[in-house]
Amino acid sequence: MTKTIAGSVEELPGPGDVLSRSGLDFMQDVVAGRLPGPPIGQTLGFWPVEAGPGRVVFEGAAGFGAMNMMRGVHGGWYGAILDSCMACAVMTEVPKGSFYTTLEFKVNITRALPASLPVRAIGTVLHAGRSTGVAVGEVRGVEDGQLYASGSTTCIIMTG
């Protein structure tokens, strides 16, 4: 796996890159480095490492820049990695010629995440229809297997 990160808006995949392949092919191309990934992954310290039908895995760690003034990892970091893995899982079920976006998501933080602890965020699709997709996600420690957060999302699926 080679990380390729877009360095400008022009380097991000365009509509043709999205609509010319299935969502699964698109996600597998990002994981493999054939398409550049979004800069938010570099900014927040996580990246997709696996994409299969109805399932996407991100790995990463919240760095110092994701901490709040109480010396904890900001809740927005949990939300960002969960939104990424859950919505990208829905993307793997989107047919060629279609795309998606998140309509809403919910996050449940179950325990404080130590900064720099490597985590794995797993998104799994529960439903993918013509116009909506529903997925759930978990953030677990890579080494300790502890559940740090879970979430759910609803995405809208649209034709291009």
Instruction: Give pLDDT, residue 7.
Output: 86
> How many domains, in total, are found in the chain?
1
Please report, rounded to a whole number, the percentage of residues in the chain having pLDDT higher than 70: 99
Residue 3 lies in a domain: no
pLDDT, mean of residues 130-144:
97
3-state secondary structure labels for all residues of 44-112: HCEEEEEEECCEEEEEECCCHHHECCCCCECHHHHHHHHHHHHHHHHHCCCCCCEEEEEEEEEEEECCC
Contact 139, 113 (CB under 8 A): yes
Token pair in block for residue 82: 């969960």
**pLDDT, position 6:** 87
State the CATH number of the domain containing residue 108.
3.10.129.10
In a domain, 4, yes or no: no
| Maximal CA-CA distance, the chain | 46
Q: Tell me the average pLDDT of the chain.
A: 95
Is a pLDDT exceeding 80 seen at residue 1?
A: no
For residue 113, is pLDDT > 70?
A: yes
pLDDT tens for residues 57-104? Answer: 999 999 999 999 999 999 999 999 999 999 999 999 999 999 999 999
Q: For residue 121, what are the domain limits?
A: 9-159
